[in-house]
């Protein structure tokens, strides 16, 4: 079963990572062991993943079995930019 989740804001990223981990039945300690870091370090990451490098973020998501579509990320980014440009034109 493949699920698709749209993460619309960076603020929602910690919630999604925690939900993915719990859905897999994996503890923070399990994740830390797989990553070769302490449980405390993983907890800090999970609480604020937007500060991590993309490489580390993608590694965690891959371990959790989450597929990332770079095409979708680029498409969403372009759409957001277009929306922002049209909104700014409406203001002025």
- pTM of the entire predicted model: 0.67
Mean pLDDT of the chain: 79
Any idea which architecture 10-67 has in CATH?
Orthogonal Bundle (1.10)
Specify the pLDDT at position 84: 54
Specify the pLDDT at position 71: 65
Q: Locate the domains of the chain by residue range.
A: 10-67
For 15-46, how does the pLDDT look when each residue is reduced to its tens digit (9 = 90+)? 889 999 999 999 999 999 999 999 999 999 99
Name the phi and psi angles at 3, rounded to 5: -110, 145
pLDDT at residue 88 above 50?
no
Sign of CA dihedral 43, 48, 50, 53: negative
List the structure tokens of 59: 């590694």
Please report which helix (H) or strand (E) contains residue 28, including its range.
Answer: helix 28-35
Cα separation, 17 vs 53, whole angstroms: 15
């Amino acid at each position: 079963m493949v699920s698709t989740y749209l993460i619309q804001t960076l603020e929602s990223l910690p919630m999604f990572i925690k939900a993915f981990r719990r859905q897999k039945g994996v503890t923070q300690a399990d994740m830390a062991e797989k990553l070769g870091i302490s449980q405390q370090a993983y907890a800090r990451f999970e609480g604020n993943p937007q500060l991590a490098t993309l490489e580390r973020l993608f590694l965690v998501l891959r371990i959790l079995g989450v597929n990332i579509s770079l095409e979708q990320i680029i498409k969403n980014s372009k759409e957001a930019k277009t929306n922002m440009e049209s909104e700014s034109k409406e203001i002025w």
